[in-house]
Chain A
Amino acid sequence: MNLMKFFNFKFLKEEIKSKSQLIYSILALLPILQIFYFVLQLANHNYGIVSFSSLGGLSKIACFIIPFILAYALFGFLHKKNSVDFYLSKPIERKTMYFTNIIGGLFLIIILLLLNSIVMLLFNIFTPFAIPFKLIIDYFVFYTASFSFVFMITSLSIILAGNFLSTIVVLLLIGLMYPFTTLVDIAMNQNHNVYLELDNCEEDDCNQKLYPSLNEYNYTTIYSPLMNVSYDSKSVLKTYFLTIIYIGLGYLAFEKRKMEDNECSFKNIKTYYMVKILTFLPVCFLSYALITTHDLTALIVSIAIPIAYYILYDLVMQKGYRTFKLTLITLCLSYGVFVGFFALLGLLYTKEVYLKQIDELVFDHYYYNGIVYYEDLVIKDPKVIKNIINSQDNSFSEYSQSYYITLKANNKLYEDYLYWPENNKIIDDYIDQNNIKSMDELYQYNKTKYINFNTNKTIKVPITNIMLEHLKNAPSVKDTYGINYNLYYYDNHKYYDLQIPINATNELLNYASKQLNQSFIKDLDLINESYINIDLYDLDEDITKDFNNFLLNRFIIDNKRDELKEFLKKHQNDEIKENIGVIILSDFNSKNNQDNIFIISNIEEFKNNWEKWMDSLADNKEYQKYVKEFENSYAY
């Protein structure tokens, strides 16, 4: 097989050249917007660990727009007679032209996403944004699938349709086919009443009604970000697979395409009606849903909508009616068939099921001892499942624990909340007995890349062997109090995090404090617009009450700004000692309320200075007012 028969580089080069302005704009658009987005976030001090969702914030919208424009740039010629003449008369076979354009489009998508990934990488290196390399790879793989998928379904729609409007209709049909079927399934499942049969329930009405069954829908990657589903390998694979299928279908359609079909929607009357009836399906479903409300107004609307749609479709797609008689017949027939079909489906879904045997019980983020949690704790032991379900507090009178669970029975998924009295330790015992690893046990210390200090500033850390040793031997956070670190790394398409106490490792703390202090010093001028909170931690003592007076702190800082600055600059690189203090600069201009933190190692010296500043202000009436107010509120 001669591969060159499928690709003509010279043609591609000329194609790209002929649309260079559009293509370069497209290539530059996303990276420029991405830079703009990051800069905006930086300006708002809104940085730190970047999630998959926020990293792809722009791309989840762009994946609908950019590939659409790209596909139109490459295949739009099919909708104009003169451009069809121009392209098709050139010495390139149809298959070469098709595959060259497809490969070209996909190549441009890859270039675009690579550029965007490079932007992310640069922001990771040169700014405080923490964007793990593996996350960027995931972004690239995920959005290459999304962009390619939209590019392919748009290309296929252009090939199948004769003009822009009909392309949109075909595109919506292809793109929304699966989400529509899932919507119907979800809606129909509302008629499906499922009960959890409890052992101690003698009458039917005390059995626990579950939420409607959930099927494991597997959307393509273009929909999952919109539905807040993050990276999912199954979706990615499905999207790539479908993209390949659509490449094949597009090839067949391009080879067979009647090139005389352009500048109108559908020349063939059968195709015209087929597409019209298919697009009528969701309208009929809406009509059916309105009918089931048993409301008179809804009933009128349910009849008006299909008629209006049917007329509008003809007007928009062909600017007139084919024949009134044919329109009327197809309207009545298709409406009757579709609404009848949905009504039948509704009847089939309406049933009551009592679940006796549960195959699987899944706790989404099970919290144990308040802090450590298990992501998707799956229990398959039928005895344990039965015990868990039956040990619920059926009276719901004194429960103190409630858990969102999904359970699998008869190959269907259901969701529910389980309630137990506080003293119920059945799951904790199960965890202990089965030696199930918690998230912090699963945490791999040597992969640590970031520290998030008290959920505020994120610092990228180069982990040394000494740090690693310290970390591994760090006391469990549940045994301590006070402020903690969160250690992070990104692996297997998700973040792993581990909470450790602030004094877990001196080396790490010193590293982090220097980073935080430097950043704090940089933002010192923001003090003018910010509130200052001072927490002095002595691991054996509570927070000193003097520093809890928020307004007083502010007053002192306002009056002793230069002295404070001088002190902070002098001590920004101090080694951490046992007692540490933290100045939290809360910048209220920041949208996400991200604070700046200064870690003071020499508490005594800070206290002395602070007291000196307080004394010097003692005669100030405003100062006295704040002190008085604070003392009163404290006494109260």
Chain B
Amino acid sequence: MIELKNLSKSFDKHHLVLENLSCTIPDNAIYGLVGANGAGKSTLLRLINSIYKPTQGEVLVDGKPAYDTEDIKKQMVFVPDDLFFFSGYSLTETANFYKALYPNFDLDFVLKEAKTLKLDPKANLSTFSKGMKRQCALLCALATKAKYMFFDETFDGLDPVIRKFFKDLIVRQMSEKETTIIMTSHNLRELEDICDNLGLLYKGSILFEGDIDTLKTNMFKVQISLKEDFDKDTFKDLDLLYFKKVGTVATLIIKEKENSKKILEDLKPIILDYLPLTLEEIFIYQMEALGYEFNEVL
């Protein structure tokens, strides 16, 4: 488990990139970190990976301080947004570099998946496209079998088929090896179908975080029509996050309480449809509930 305690990071006196950030990343989960550009996502990953030293606070991994500790770093692998490869190196050579540093590195995995992805393991990486380079970096990272994997803007430059391929690989990795995966994106939709936990970073702080399933079950979207005329007040017993009526049909977003559905059914609606909520919608209404404009945050 990764605990961030009052973590702050400033690059100069006047600008705090992260401010007093605290959160917990549970084990064996895929944790999505979303936030607008400059929110501090990459800085946070660099702090956890001991690339940067916190100005204040600390990172604990399984209860132990993680900064610049080899034993803990062996359990972590980081794929940054801007990739680096040794000049003239091939995928095999890059994988061998990782192999020298990560005791559980699986070279066969790299070669097998490279074949599936039609990546020539002997070819010079400088001849690869941006997307192919990212595939190589992801393969090397996954092959480390590290307990914690950090992916910054993971799927940038990957086409939808390859994205799907890697999402499957990541999920498999998580379930088979009990890995914790932390991925960042400025695009919620990117993380929606893969993460089971989400944190929203805004101006250096975690504005909101939670388990996606709980979020989804805590909130539902309803299309409703009643025999009589109705307005927002009709639903005053519910924790209403959103109300919009077009003609005789209204769309509601309701925060789940014990008897919300019963209250709706007791109104004897002509139409009562429960609709799936997108993650973006969940965030929009959560943010609004917290008093933020979603467009400002993300």
Contact = CB atoms under 8 A, between A and B. Distances in A.
Contacts of A260: 11, 52
For this complex, into which size category does the number of interface residues on chain B fall? 20 to 34
A92 B101 contact: yes
A14 B100 contact: yes
Nearest to B94: A18
B50 A88 contact: yes
B82 A85 contact: yes
B84 A82 contact: yes
Nearest to B9: A260
Interface in B128-172: none
A420 B47 CA distance: 78
Interface residues of A, number: 29
Contacts of A14: 96-97, 100-101
Contact of B68 (A11, A80, A93): A93
B76 A82 contact: no
Interface string B61-78: 000000011100110111
Nearest to B103: A91
A5 B70 CA distance: 9
Contacts, number: 73
A91 B74 contact: yes
B180 to A, nearest CB: 16
Contacts of A19: 86
Contacts of B203: none
B77 to A, nearest CB: 7
A88 B49 contact: yes
B152 to A, nearest CB: 9
Contacts of B73: 89-93
A19 B93 CA distance: 12
B51 interface: yes
A83 B89 CA distance: 14
B76 A89 contact: yes
A14 B97 CA distance: 6
B191 to A, nearest CB: 21
Contacts of B100: 10-11, 13-14
A264 to B, nearest CB: 11
B57 interface: no
Nearest to A257: B53
Contact of A86 (B68, B70, B80): B80
A5 B80 CA distance: 26
Contacts of B102: 91
A451 B83 CA distance: 64
B101 A267 contact: no
B51 A93 contact: no
Contacts of A93: 68-70, 73
Contact of A21 (B49, B80, B88): B88
A259 B74 contact: no
A18 B84 contact: no
A26 B49 CA distance: 34
A548 B86 CA distance: 71
Interface of B: 11-12, 46, 49-53, 68-70, 73-74, 76-78, 80, 82-84, 86, 88-89, 93, 96-97, 100-102
Give the top 7 A-B pairs by smallest Cβ distance, nearest first. A89-B78, A86-B84, A91-B73, A82-B84, A85-B80, A91-B74, A88-B51
Given A14-B97, A14-B101, 13 more contacts: A11-B101, A82-B80, A85-B51, A86-B80, A89-B76, A89-B78, A91-B70, A91-B101, A92-B70, A93-B70, A93-B73, A259-B52, A260-B11
10 contacts: A19-B86, A85-B84, A86-B84, A88-B49, A89-B77, A91-B101, A93-B68, A260-B52, A267-B11, A268-B12
